[in-house]
Amino acid sequence: MRALSHSLPLYRRPLARIVLTGLWLGLLSLPLMMELDAPYFGLERPLMVVGVVVLLGLAQWFITQSRRLSPVWTERLMEAGGATVRGLSRRIDRRLLYVPALAAAVVIPLGLNRYYIDVLTQVGIYATLALGLNIVVGLAGLLNLGFIAFYAVGAYAYGLLATRLDLSFWQVLPLGAVLAAVLGVLLGFPALRLRGDYLAIVTLGFGEMIRIVLNNWDGVTGGPNGIIGIARPSLFGFAFSHPIHYYYLILAVVLLTIFAVGRLNQSRLGRAWTAMRDDEVAAEAMGIDLVKTKLLAFGLGATWAGLAGVFFASKMTFISPESFTFFESVLVLCMVVLGGMGSVPGVILGAAMLLILPEMMRQFALYRMLVFGAAMVGMMVMRPKGLLTARRRAVPLWRREVLRASAVSGSIARSTGSERIDSVSPRSNDADMMLLETRKLSVDFGGLRALDMVDLSVKAGEIVSLIGPNGAGKTTFFNAVTGLFAPTSGEVRYRGQNLVGLRPHHVAAKGISRTFQNIRLFHDMTVIENVMVGGHCRMRAGVIGAVIRPKNVIAEEERSAAKAYELLQFVGLEDKGDLWASQLPYGDQRRLEIARAMASDPTLLLLDEPAAGMNPQETNALMDLIYAIRARGITVLLIEHHMKLVMGISERIVVLDHGITIAEGTPAAIKADSRVIGAYLGKESLHA
């Protein structure tokens, strides 16, 4: 691994040089399409042409070198991390497309006329807009049909401030983004409890409301006539007057947007958005604050829309409400869906296709939109999840961190998870401390009482089972303890603190984690990403940290990945870290859910029917795993119908029937209790 750590910088330095060189040469190439006779920055045109050729040569050299080194890296990484780094060579091959793509973006406009440069500039503006919507829809799963309103806010912010207060483009650019972000957060508040069709209707109404205000507030917005005479940007006396100026300016913005959105996607926040999109209940139980996470998605998405709006106004020098209709919102949404929701390159490709293809089909005259529509339908039929589906990325988000995690973990022994501990493990000094205690806990659903005055206590270090017939209220009890259901009356005390009224993410942060009766994994995430989501509430990186990645954020991600990898080893899934959660067999999914619940460092673990659907061998392995969990200092409270497991592992058993506690005691006492036999176990248990 030491050799590996020295080899990685050798790869990163050429990549950085190539990208920076490409950007520099792109800047020097600006005047190649301008009708100017004077040299630019003291350099003649031939030198600039040579610069473009050098750029292409460097790109080709980079590709050759990367392909030559790829097998070496793959062999080393496979030795260091085993199957958890499978597919890295495919990632390297895919990344080889970035430099040629950048070179093409810089060079292609040099051979185009003004009209097509304008089209490409429009692609850049809409790509920025679509990347913002991709955060809201693609990552967070919040359908927004009024997204164009934030685009309008940015455009009108520049139009009004430039014409009335004489503010420059560079002064208004951040201001327009901030105004749009504030509006996005304000929209997010009333939409917090809405999803799907209802959220779409609310956001659609919001977008139309903004358009109507712009259309009727004549004294400020100019009404239907809009705002004219908007100043073009300039920088240090250099006026962006030629179409190619705007193209390279928006290209720089698109690159920065790709960088920022990509970093966010690979961060703690990106995992939280994806988890929330897949399953809000499981996400909140894992410690994700849904309110903050949703508002953050709305605000950040609107930020990019505001930036795009400022660029649009400066390019057109005229804006009116007709540029911000519902059709534009649908168009941007189609870019995200067509390209692939959650996929950054897919969204850019979607924007390019939806804007360039109609121009290429002008030869069909009146039938061009029909042909274009048929082409779009065909694409969606062949690629229903988008042209470049984010879910099929070669290596998961943890690609960098897991390499170091493998080095940190090394060959961690799995003895804690494989050796049977038949005797009760020594408890900590606070063994007599009451960890969880419910007092007269009741939960009503309308006129039905699901829990009725339930008193239950769990001491630190215990393994306690909660049993009873179906419908007895066992899972309702878990939901009331973890904050998913609000108790009608009673108390839930954890370490002496009343948890009633706390949201699930607060309960998780206190040290209570859980699994679910019906497995609730995040199927659009990899195995190791699922476990990393479990530790969300123990991480602190925010938006700025996720984008710029200071040392403390990198260290936090490395620790999270290392812990996730160690937990996968603990449950026996270390060779499956790069698989999608949906690819695991049923028993492995159960173990993955346990590993995810352990990632938050809980002191109390609630297991809801962990042996359901398992064969005898898997059940025996689960019993060993529960003993090993307790050996790590974690108290276990489980719901289970598998009586062999319950009787073999429990120190105490609590029995519920119709929401009422009918018995509590040792396995032997419960097995002999006539009330339990009559309500649940049956007479055959007397001879078991």
Lowest pLDDT segment from 360-369, 488-497, 589-598, 620-629: 360-369
Nearest Cα residue to 282 out of 551, 678, 541, 608? 608
């001491």: which residue's tokens? 459
The pLDDT of residue 55 is 54
The yes-or-no verdict on residue 80 having pLDDT over 50 is no
Pick the more confident residue, 19 or 129.
Answer: 129
Phi, psi torsion values for 491, nearest 5 degrees? -130, 150
Q: What is the CATH number of domain 415-687?
A: 3.40.50.300
pLDDT in tens, 220-258: 999 999 999 998 988 887 888 888 888 999 999 999 999
The pLDDT of residue 430 is 57
The yes-or-no verdict on residue 604 having pLDDT over 80 is yes
Tokens of 653: 């058993």
The pLDDT of residue 237 is 78
pLDDT in tens, 612-671: 988 889 899 999 999 999 999 999 999 999 999 999 999 999 999 999 999 999 999 998
Return the CATH number of 112-393, one of 3.30.2310, 1.10.3470, 3.90.25, 1.20.1740.
1.10.3470
Pick the more confident residue, 345 or 404.
Answer: 345
pLDDT in tens, 152-195: 999 999 999 999 998 999 999 999 999 999 999 998 888 788 87
pLDDT category at 97 given cuts 50, 70, 90 is low
The pLDDT of residue 339 is 87
Amino acid at the residue 112: L
The yes-or-no verdict on residue 36 having pLDDT over 70 is no
- Is residue 632 within 8 A of residue 427, CB to CB? The reply is no
Amino acid at the residue 146: G
Lowest pLDDT segment from 297-306, 397-406, 441-450: 397-406
The yes-or-no verdict on residue 15 having pLDDT over 70 is no
Helix (H, G, I), strand (E, B) or coil at 534: helix
632 C-beta neighbours (distance < 10 Å), count = 13
Burial class (CB in 10 A: 0-12, 13-18, 19+), 544: exposed
Q: List, in sequence order, the alpha helices (H) in 29-165.
A: 45-81, 88-95, 98-107, 114-133, 148-164
Give me the DSSP letters along 596-648: HHHTT--SEEEEESTTTT--HHHHHHHHHHHHHHHHTT-EEEEE---HHHHHH
The yes-or-no verdict on residue 426 having pLDDT over 80 is no
- Residue 285 CA to residue 605 CA, distance in Å, equals 12
249 C-beta neighbours (distance < 10 Å), count = 20
Cα distances (angstroms) measured from residue 103 to each of 19, 30, 55, 459: 9, 14, 7, 64
The pLDDT of residue 108 is 80
Tokens of 172: 């208004």
Tokens of 344: 């950054």
pLDDT category at 509 given cuts 50, 70, 90 is very high
CA 441-444-448 angle, 5° bins: 130
pLDDT category at 377 given cuts 50, 70, 90 is confident
pLDDT category at 394 given cuts 50, 70, 90 is very low
Tokens of 210: 């903004």
CA 253-258-260 angle, 5° bins: 95
The pLDDT of residue 393 is 43
- Is residue 308 within 8 A of residue 154, CB to CB? The reply is yes
The yes-or-no verdict on residue 324 having pLDDT over 70 is yes
Phi, psi torsion values for 638, nearest 5 degrees? -125, 150
R_g over Cα of the chain: 29
The pLDDT of residue 238 is 81
- Is residue 108 within 8 A of residue 29, CB to CB? The reply is no
Helix (H, G, I), strand (E, B) or coil at 572: coil
